[in-house]
Structure 1
Amino acid sequence: MDLQMRVVEAAEQSFRQFGYKGTTMENVARIANVGKGTIYTFFPSKEALLEHILNRLVVEMRAVADGSIVAGDTFFNNLERALRSVLRFRAQHELLVKLAQEGKQLGTVAVIEGMARVEEAVLNYLRKHLEAGVANGDVKPCNTELVAFIMLRTYTAILVDWESRHEPLSDDALMQVFHVVFTEGLNRTQA
């Protein structure tokens, strides 16, 4: 493992344990077993280190979403599965959960901005797929940016708010809700 990767993994571990605010470059150096100066050769600040880690997570989320797409399945089934897989990834990833909590509870600006960039990446992914659906004739012409936002907010509410008060929905039940709420309204072939 190269030195930069050791620093990144140590920072990720420290952010998971102590949050962004509670992490110091000294903590990261100790966990990575390097001098503090070594960290600064790769990253000029703790903010830059967080940004690097979040950018890696965005790449991972895209891979998770792309990996959920099934060749030959319908556009809407694939879109729903991709959205669900990204939101489950986000909900189960320790660092993202810790940062989301810190952003809400402590209002840490760097964390709020970083999480906003992660959300923007998810929205862009959805928007691009919706635009492709419009271009291919699968989706009615619409404001894809707004629809992506509504989809993300709706699914987040189902997976977070609903499941905090009710039994979690099965994948089939989630897909059914998606089809009732979105497919029937957006599907170009619907009457």
Structure 2
Amino acid sequence: MVKTRRIAPDAKLEAILQAAEGLFSQQGYSATTIAAIADRAGVAVGTIYRFFPEKSALLRSLHQRVADRMIEAMRIGWQSEPDFAQRFLPMICALFDTAVRDRELLIVLQTARDASPEQFSKAIDKIVTAIRHMYIQGLECGIYRQFDPTIAANIAYGMVEGAMRALMAGKASFPRKVLEDQLATAMSSVFVR
């Protein structure tokens, strides 16, 4: 009798997500098949469907995963600077580092999100909520202007996301460092007292 090694469900899910992330980044969403993802992940096609009812659900899951990476990068950048008035630049730099590393996947995710924004709103909401918590910290220290934290977080998200799109599309009219500095200065002028 041949013994087969069972792979834990968490390990299968991680293999599927890594395979999908790689293939979507390399080939794009439309050109990537569930069969190709299964092959790269080393699982059966049916295993993928146990976790994700369709390919778009897998893409939404990756969007959540990338949002989590971005939130972690923002948090690390944010906490690296003790002066709340100066925290925007390290946060933006850390976020842009993540965006550059995940560039191809983010382009796929942005295209999907632009086509169907309601399906991807949870990931955006997570990012905005993280920014909101950061803003509240600055409010509590008396460093930031008294704006509604949710509105402030949405304004900050819009500023960063617009600059990030330009950077990833290669349409930024300035070098990355200049864009980071200008964005941090703009955010400081809006939010810092």
Residue 173 (structure 2) aligned to one of 166, 179, 190: 166
- The C-alpha deviation readout for 1:52-91, integer Å capped at 9, x for no partner, is 2222222221221122234562113223321342244234
2:57 and 2:159 map into 1 onto residues whose CA distance is 31
Residue 154 (structure 1) aligned to one of 159, 164, 182: 159
The number of equivalent residue pairs is 181
Q: Which residue of 2 aligns with 1:12?
A: 21
TM-score norm. by structure 1 comes to: 0.75
What RMSD in Å do the two structures reach over aligned CA positions?
Answer: 2.9
- The C-alpha deviation readout for 1:1-56, integer Å capped at 9, x for no partner, is 83222222122222223323333222212222322112223333323322322222
Matched, 1:132 2:128: no
Matched, 1:51 2:56: no
2:82 and 2:89 map into 1 onto residues whose CA distance is 11
Which runs of 5 or more structure 1 residues have no equivalent in the other structure? none
1:74 and 1:44 map into 2 onto residues whose CA distance is 46
SS in 2 for 1:21: coil
Contact 1:84 1:155 in 2 (8 A): no
Contact 1:133 1:139 in 2 (8 A): yes
TM-score norm. by structure 2 comes to: 0.75
Cα displacement (A) at 1:102: 5.1
Larger mean CA deviation between 157-166 and 11-20 belongs to 157-166
- The C-alpha deviation readout for 1:76-129, integer Å capped at 9, x for no partner, is 32233213422442344121122224555xx3x3xx445544333222221111
Q: Which residue of 2 aligns with 1:95?
A: 105
Q: 1:136 to 1:103 in 2, by over 3 A?
A: closer
Letter in 1 for 2:173: H
Contact 2:74 2:91 in 1 (8 A): yes
1:30-41 to structure 2, matched below 5 A, reads 30-41=39-50
Larger mean CA deviation between 144-153 and 6-15 belongs to 144-153
Q: 1:81 to 1:72 in 2, by over 3 A?
A: closer
Q: Which residue of 1 aligns with 2:92?
A: 83
1:99-118 to structure 2, matched below 5 A, reads 99-101=109-111, 103=113, 107=115, 109=116, 112-113=117-118, 115-118=120-123
Cα displacement (A) at 1:130: 0.9
- The percentage of aligned residue pairs carrying the same residue is 22
Contact 1:77 1:175 in 2 (8 A): no
Q: 1:12 to 1:37 in 2, by over 3 A?
A: same
2:133 and 2:38 map into 1 onto residues whose CA distance is 39
